[in-house]
Amino acid sequence: MMVFQIVTNDKTATMITPASVYVNENNTPASRRYNDVYFSGENGAQETDYVFIGGNDLLSRWSQHSDPHFCIAETGFGTGLNFFRVSQHFQHFRQVHPNHILETLIFISTEKHPLSKKDAADIMQQWKQDNILGDVCADETLSASNGQSGYLDLCDLWLAQYPISVAGIHRRNFSINKTDLSANITLDLHYGDATDSLAQIQKSPNGVVDAWFLDGFTPSKNSSMWTPALYEQMASLSKIGCSFATFTAASEVKRGLQIAGFSVHKQKGFERKREMLLGVYSGNSHQNLNKTSNANSNETRSHLQTPELSQQQGKLDQHQAPYFGRPSLNLAKQSNDVTIVGNGLAGAIMALKLTQRGKRVTLLWQGELPSDFASGNPIGGFYPQLNAQHNAASQIQMHSFLYASEFYKSLHTLQPFSHDWCGALQIAFNDNTRTRLNKLDSAAFWPRELAHLVDAKQASEIANIPMPYSCLHIVKAGWIKPPSVVNACLEQAKASGLLTLQNNSQLINYKCIGDGSIQLALKTNEQRSVKECYTQALVLAMGSGSKALTKHVIPLRLTRGQVEMVSNSQLSQPDNVMAQLKTLLCHKGYFTPASDGFHALGSTYIKEDTRCDVRAQETDINFNMHIQSIQHKAWQKALGQAQLNPNNYSRAAIRCSTPDHLPVVGAMPDSLQFTELADLYKALPLHQYQVPSHEKNVFIMTGLGSRGLTTAPLMAEVLVSQMLEEPMPLTKPLLDTLNPNRFIVRSLIRREPWQT
């Protein structure tokens, strides 16, 4: 059986193996591995209602909730029955209370052995036949308008974007309102061991979770999950007053939860089960701001020391460093205004996601059009940069690509934009590339649904042209027209009535002032002088324009790139390979199939060159790079002829990247950090370091480099989640590699002079 592996920053590996499922004599899905059923055969939804929804008193608590989102965390996703059932109840709640402040349900779940997509589809088909989910309310009008068919639509949506078998967080956003993209229901499904997965969630000083569904196979058959380490992680993520409910009444579970800080009591179990447990977290471990760093320390839970937990603590401490904290927006409750500076993909997606969360957004930028600068390229390749090492960069690329695929599909249903999910072939055009791709494929990090090797014959069939090399086939890749998707995001954001656009406005500087507001110094085309305006929160999504404002704390790199738009107007003859191309080709550059009569061919990389003039020399470089990379006479002849086409044109823009080639996403570091963290080189115990200073309500998203189409949607989701204190869509180790202050931390640890 094929397994897939993910390596985190601490070099540990988590293996993801699928569930082995059978249907028992009661027609109920069961696990061969655990010899236990996934849910009560006759009354699965009613058991969820009684144990988890009733046990956590959710319906009453929702009506009294005073925050925009409510977070449930679950151990053991299984078939997803608990998620789909609570989603039914939440949709009903929103129907009955359409103006309630609680707008979003966030459901975190873990699954060590996920169902195959086929097994999940078979089970959900059986649900339909047996009416397993049924309705959630007695009101016939509401039941008819949002009954079984509506709820099962959520099941169908889930199957349509079913995660592939790679470890980590798979975020899926579902909108109750089909006319917008608001994430009324967000599912964060963690593939991996429950305790390990919970340990890698970004902690918050105020807690993350409002209610726990402590589920999974019974403790006697799944003892590796029901451990003190699990209860400890539950406590470290719980808000004060967080509840839990579980079907079991096992005494060791009760004791473990009590030791971890939960009050626990018993009540009548569901149907024939005698008892179940439920309770509330008291909050004793959340009395200081350094909860994140101390949640797993020996000092915090000295009374809960077991060999297993001590081992777990040693493993996790490195991921709880306080200097990699992620502060949220600190605004008065009545304030809802955010200013985003920067056009292009980053700014547009940020504007869309913030307006979806009900924020009033002003988006301003220096140029005339919202897709000027790097996002103005006519066509861009959409594919991840994978490698055999499976390091943080590769993981971020993979998760970004998978998230972006679903984001773009959802966006296109409401705001169509130009694209083609035609797949991509990464060409093994020389010995080094062939060796690298063979290693990537043999390492088995990536399931075949994402990427796999094909031989030259298969590659030729996929590309519809002769291919002399084996290739890595990236199935869900393709091309997108960036200006088109930027406009789609802005049109959807404008439909909310919460977006204001302001072009020809250059941010010269900004300053955080005493009353909590931020003073902006803007220069417009109409006014030579600089004018001042104010905002309560600022997001810098400026790409190359970020460098001048951040060089004192973030070292950014600027790289010029020129792309060629190659006309096929004179190349339509049947034997022309360019005209027949049906997939994206990648090697040192990329070459797209024709769209509107043009192929995109790119691109050059000229470091620290910030001019955007078109250069014939770089056109030659681009064409020669492709000719040399594909040693096929027909291909070389076609490209040679294409270069002479007078209808071709070129475009140059500036990419913004970082020394480690990872994006920068988070709160803007204050230069005080150089003093506050000056003794990092001493490697003191983590609890001796403070949470460092950040510029209040100033955030940044930049450094996307040449992979903005791939990374921008998930990076925007990361930043919006941080700003609004929602659960994060990436694990803590990966978030640390994106933190804007990582360069300060590294320079202080290494005692190196600061370099911009």
Selection from 237, 296, 326, 315 nearest residue 691 by Cα: 326
Residue 313 placed within a domain:
no
Give me the number of domains the chain comprises.
Answer: 3
Asked if 432 and 441 touch (Cβ cutoff 8 Å), the reply is no
> What is the CB-side half-sphere exposure of residue 749 using CA atoms within 13 A?
10
Using DSSP's 3-state secondary structure scheme, residue 720 falls into helix
Containing 21, the helix (H) or strand (E) segment is strand 21-23
160 and 113 assigned to the same domain: yes
- Alpha helix segments (H runs only) across 500-569: 547-550
Q: How confident is the model at residue 9 (pLDDT cuts 50, 70, 90)?
A: very low
Identify whether 300 is part of a domain.
Answer: no
Mean pLDDT value across residues 394-404:
96
Which residue, 614, 629, 655, sits at the end of a domain? Answer: 655
Structure tokens of 10?
């601490």
For residue 283, which phi and psi values (nearest 5 degrees)? Answer: 90, 15
Closest CA to 729 of 711, 741, 746: 711
**Same domain, yes or no, for 239 and 131?**
yes
Q: Is residue 59 part of a domain?
A: yes
Give the C-alpha separation, 716 to 375, whole Å.
15
The better pLDDT of the pair 111, 529 is held by 111
Structure tokens at 122: 């078979």
Planar angle of CA 721, 326, 361, nearest 5 degrees? 45
Burial class (CB in 10 A: 0-12, 13-18, 19+), 588: middle
- φ/ψ region of 167 (left if φ > 0, alpha if ψ in -120 to 50, else beta) reads beta
Contact 472/505 with Cβ under 8 angstroms? Answer: no
Instruction: Give the pair of three-digit tokens for residue 680.
Output: 């990092």
Q: What is the pLDDT of residue 573?
A: 59
Asked if residue 89 is part of any domain, the answer here is: yes
How does strand 451-454 pair with strand 36-37? unpaired
Same domain, 452 and 569: yes
3-state secondary structure of 613: coil
Whether residues 253 and 149 fall in one domain: yes
Residues 350, 340 contacting (CB under 8 angstroms): yes
Strand partners, 519: 511, 534
Residue 750 CA to residue 206 CA, distance in Å, equals 32
pLDDT at 427 over 90: yes
Is residue 683 located within the same domain as residue 587? Answer: no
pLDDT of residue 38: 81
Distance (Å, whole) CA 581 – CA 591: 9
Residues 6+ apart with CB under 8 A from 397: 384, 385, 386, 707, 710, 711
Cα–Cα distance measured from residue 476 to residue 464, given in angstroms and rounded to the nearest whole number: 17
Whether residue 120 is found in the same domain as residue 234: yes
Reduced 3-state DSSP string for 330-349 = CCCCCCCEEEEECCHHHHHH
Q: Two tokens at 747? A: 């320079």
Kindly state whether residue 305 falls inside one of the protein's structural domains: no
Q: Provide the pLDDT for residue 287.
A: 35
Residues 512 and 461 in one domain: no
At residue 575, does pLDDT exceed 80?
A: no
What pLDDT is recorded for position 333?
61
Q: What is the mean pLDDT of residues 306-327?
A: 55
CATH number of the domain to which 361 belongs: 3.50.50.60
Q: Which residues contact 667 (CB under 8 A, 6 or more apart)?
A: 326, 327, 694, 695, 698, 699, 700, 722, 740
Beta bridge partners of 480: 380, 419
Residues 257 and 279 sit within 8 Å (Cβ to Cβ): yes
Shared domain for 576 and 525, answered yes or no, is: no
Question: Of 607, 632, 655, at which residue does a domain stop?
Answer: 655
Q: How far apart are CA 331 and CA 424, in angstroms?
A: 44
Cα 205 to Cα 66, 361, 413, distances in angstroms? 18, 27, 38
Range of the domain at 182: 42-288
Taking each helix axis as running N to C, give the angle between helix 482-494 and helix 344-356, from 0 to 180 degrees, rounded to the nearest 10: 20
pLDDT band at 619 (very low <50, low <70, confident <90, very high): very high
Do residues 540 and 597 share a domain? Answer: no
The reply to whether 18 falls in a domain is: no
| Top-confidence residue, 466 or 573 | 466
- Domain boundary at 624, 655, 686, which? 655
Single pTM value for the model:
0.92
How many angstroms separate the CA atoms of 535 and 335, rounded? 10
Give DSSP secondary structure letters for 222-273: -TTTSSHHHHHHHHHHEEEEEEEEES---HHHHHHHHHHTEEEEEEE-STT-
pLDDT at res. 146: 39
Mean pLDDT score, 193-213: 95
Domain match, 640 and 687 both: no
The answer to whether residue 550 is domain-embedded is yes
Residues 224-272: tens digit of each pLDDT: 899 999 999 999 999 999 999 999 999 999 999 999 999 999 999 998 8
Residues 633 and 672 in one domain: no
pLDDT per position as a tens digit, 690-749: 889 999 999 999 999 999 999 999 999 999 999 999 999 999 999 999 999 999 999 999
Q: Are residues 190 and 227 in the same domain?
A: yes
Per-residue pLDDT reduced to its tens digit, 633-681:
788 888 888 898 999 999 999 999 999 999 999 999 999 999 999 999 9
Residue 141's CATH number: 3.40.50.150
Tell me which of 1-5, 162-166, 205-209 is least confident. 1-5
In this model, does residue 315 exceed pLDDT 50? Answer: no
Assess if residue 295 is contained within a domain. no
* Greatest CA separation for the chain: 82
Most confident option among 131-135, 417-421, 446-450, 541-545: 417-421
Residue 639 φ/ψ region, left for φ over 0, alpha for ψ in the -120 to 50 degree band, beta for the rest: alpha
